[in-house]
Amino acid sequence: MRGSDLPQSEGEKGGGVGAKGLTEASEGGCALVTGASRGIGAETARLLAQDGWTVGVNCRADTDGAGEVVRQITEAGGKALMVKGDVSESSDVDSIFEQLEQSVGPVRVLVNNAGTRDDMLAISLGDDAWLKVIETNLSAAFRTTRRALMPMVRGRWGRIVNVASIVGMRANPGQANYAASKAGLIGFTKTVAAEVARRNVTVNAVAPGFIRTAMTSDVGEELLRAIPARRAGAPGDVAACIRFLVTPAAGYITGATIPIDGGLSA
């Protein structure tokens, strides 16, 4: 489907969420953050809730972590609900969206944060390790984006942010599967952004560098010496950028990939 073939909506005739601000948009739907039980996803969920969004806190298995994020949000006066499901499975993606649509409304903000690693030199990398990383990091983002887009297009307002990595922009030996998944995510971001830009739907990516999370707990401290900022990033550094990309102020930013790496990729 080409951009010009997308269905018209009432928003095309002058109405729609696109003509309104963030408050009106959040009242007409919700935000979904995948892989939100900890790290970047959890911090993003908390910040979006502070901005008035009802947040779907997704997890595959860590219900304790996701439940704690929901508790923190609600105790701070925000709104959130846990939506369990494996976003690498099409049936689970449908279930996640249906639960949110029935409980809150359409997904107006989608943050594709769920990710995994399985590092090994390419010469020794098995099919299972390759497919697991590609399915979780890239194919899952395709499926959730596809499911989210039609309501966004019809409502003439939407925000999609994909959490890529600077590894998708540069070599990192031992991570051929991870690098391929994140490079693919960047290309996917650019293409979908061009397809839906006319409908006031933006699609962007952030590319974190060395961020202290459970996924990077085994990364050696010697990497810090290569970072101009001379420190590792925090999940909040990435979440703050995602938070901005969701706002009306970022409405003219689409198809971009923003490194968040303390200058590592400069």
In 3D space, the residue among 106, 113, 103 whose CA is nearest the CA of residue 60 turns out to be 113
Rounded Cα distance between 85 and 93, Å, is 7
Residues 210 and 227 sit within 8 Å (Cβ to Cβ): yes
Cα dihedral sign for 75, 243, 23, 81?
negative
Q: Are 235 and 163 in contact (CB under 8 A)?
A: no
Helix axes 127-134, 176-196, angle to 10 degrees: 30
Rounded-to-integer distance, Cα 186 and Cα 141, Å = 11
Alpha helices in 76-196 (DSSP H): 90-103, 127-134, 140-155, 176-196
Which among 48, 51, 45 is positioned nearest to 65, based on CA atoms? Answer: 45
Q: What is 20-48 written as a DSSP string?
A: S-HHHHHHT-EEEESS-SSHHHHHHHHHH
Q: For residue 178, indicate whether it is catalytic.
A: yes
39: left (phi over 0), alpha (psi -120 to 50) or beta: left
To the nearest 10 degrees (0 to 180), the angle between helices 39-50 and 235-246 is 40
- 97, 178, 188, 210: the catalytic one is 178
Which residues have a catalytic role annotated? Answer: 178
